Structure 1
Amino acid sequence: MHTVYLALAIVAEVIATSALKSTHEFTRFWPSLLVICGYVAAFYFLTLALRVFPVGVAYAVWSGMGIVLITAVGWVFYNQRLDSPALLGIGFIITGVLLINLFSKASAG
């Protein structure tokens, strides 16, 4: 269940970060409310995941997957294209998250 909490924390953070641009510097109410609620939910679910996962591992997975997913959101919704070095860097982030989850005993909590 703690993996589900971590996944929910990641999704909530991605939703909140994706909505940041729409807030127009927090001058628009509904997008601003979405950002605030998204970040509150993200941190809440992250605290639940921290019952089992070490802080460093949980944060590495949370931030790494957040970077990858926000990049995908930027590509799809904001037409933000990446060059080869950026794609390589994203690949390294994905590789790091996979290494932690597949081979590290620390990720088991």
Structure 2
Amino acid sequence: MLKTYLFLIGAIFCEVAGTMLLPVSQNFTKIIPTTFLAIFYLSAFYLLTFVVNKLPIAIVYASWSGLGIFTIAILGYIFFKQTLQWQAIVGLFLIVLGVILVNIYSAKL
């Protein structure tokens, strides 16, 4: 089961890396960032194929998208100087709390 969650973490990392390259690719006009973006997205989906065989797809997608959103928001602040209002920050922490609860209680299925 640990291996499954490591694949999920890897998929989240790849999805986040690909998403962070979207603005850098400048509408897919920059070949190097676009190539890495495609590689990261394909890798994310490849890793997810192993995860959905072991966990319910609803749990996988909730974890993947929720933690991806949270991580992208933090990295957007760090690298692109994007800001969020306090209400959005609270919402992001609620997403993480929701992902934690979903994973805790899905283990009892």
TM-score range, shorter chain: over 0.9
Structure 1 runs of 4+ aligned residues shifted over 3 Å read none
TM-score relative to the length of structure 1: 0.93
TM-score relative to the length of structure 2: 0.93
1:33 is matched with which residue? Answer: 35
Gaps of at least 5 residues in structure 2 are none
1:73 is matched with which residue? Answer: 75
Q: Out of 7-16 and 97-106, give the one that drifted further.
A: 97-106
2:54 is matched with which residue? Answer: 52
2:12 is matched with which residue? Answer: 10
Give me the whole-angstrom Cα distance separating, in 1, the residues matched to 2:105 and 2:51. Answer: 19
2:90 is matched with which residue? Answer: 88
RMSD, aligned α-carbons = 1.2
Look up the SS of the partner of 2:55 in the other structure. coil
Give me the whole-angstrom Cα distance separating, in 2, the residues matched to 1:82 and 1:8. Answer: 26
Paired residues, what number? 107
Gaps of at least 5 residues in structure 1 are none
Look up the SS of the partner of 2:12 in the other structure. helix
